[in-house]
Amino acid sequence: MISVENLSKSFDGVDVLNNISEKIEPGEKVVIIGPSGSGKSTFLRCLNMLEVPTSGKIFFDDCEITSPETDIDKVRMRLGMVFQHFNLFANLSIEDNLTLAPVKLKLMTKDEAHEEALRLLERVGLPDKADAYPAQLSGGQKQRVAIARALMMKPEMMLFDEPTSALDPEMVGEVLEIMKELAEDGMTMVVVTHEMGFAREVATRVLFMDEGNIIEQGTPEEVFDHPQEERTKSFLSKVL
């Protein structure tokens, strides 16, 4: 579904990603773990070109999204993204947050979008918040709305950039619960997270990244229970 070839990214001469190649197949739930500054968020953000790679190629199906000729907006419509800081549109009501993109991009009429928004808000457990504004919601509620907003576009794949890192501890569960349901429904997911429990339970594959490289990868059992690399072991000993 996504294939990454020799991806490198540097900020002002500092290398953040070193020559990464990786393939993600449909239906996979890939969880990326690693210490902060390891490049995992940058890697994720490259997948929908929020960060422009310094070199290397990324293909989404057969489309080279790193090519300047590609209409990146068309690709992003098929790739949902959920951010650490929710990034709900502060000037719009919850319903408008959900309906803006599908209506503007002419995927749905206003009425269709309205119905779909209510359906998705129901699904994330916030049917009564359609008319509220983001500032009135708790962190957990915001993130559930953000997931619903991404789902409005009926994406083929979803990217999660530390979706629970900015949440109070008691709100982490409600967000992870929705992500698990998504996973069970067969959504292809790439998740950057520090929630090792979630990774173990949901991931079909775990990538451990450090200093811009994928150090080790495998099933959750392989990575968590039998890590091969020294750096993986030392990281896991600190977080588990």
Partner 1 sequence: MDSFKLGLYQTFVLDDNYQYFIKGLGVTLIVTIFACLLGLILGVVLAIIRSAYDQRQPGRKVSVILRILNAFAKVYITVIRGTPTMVQLLIMWFVVWASARSTDANLIRCAILSFGINSGAYVAEIIRSGIMSIDKGQMEAGRSLGLSYGTTMKNIIIPQAFKNVLPALGNELITLLKETSIVTVIGLKDLTKGAMIIQGKTFQAFVPYFAIAIIYLVMVMLLSWLLGKMERRLRESDKR
Q: Which residues bind partner 1 (CB under 8 A)?
A: 11-12, 48, 50, 52-54, 68, 73-77, 79-81, 83, 85-93, 100-101, 104-105, 133-136, 146, 149-150, 153
Q: Using CA atoms, how far apart are residues 111 and 187, in angstroms rounded to an integer?
A: 26
Report in angstroms how near the CB of residue 99 gets to partner 1 at its nearest.
Answer: 11
Report in angstroms how near the CB of residue 240 gets to partner 1 at its nearest.
Answer: 30
Report in angstroms how near the CB of residue 87 gets to partner 1 at its nearest.
Answer: 4
Nearer of residues 119 and 226 to partner 1, judged by Cβ:
119
Nearer of residues 87 and 213 to partner 1, judged by Cβ:
87
Nearer of residues 58 and 75 to partner 1, judged by Cβ:
75
Nearer of residues 29 and 76 to partner 1, judged by Cβ:
76
Report in angstroms how near the CB of residue 137 gets to partner 1 at its nearest.
Answer: 10
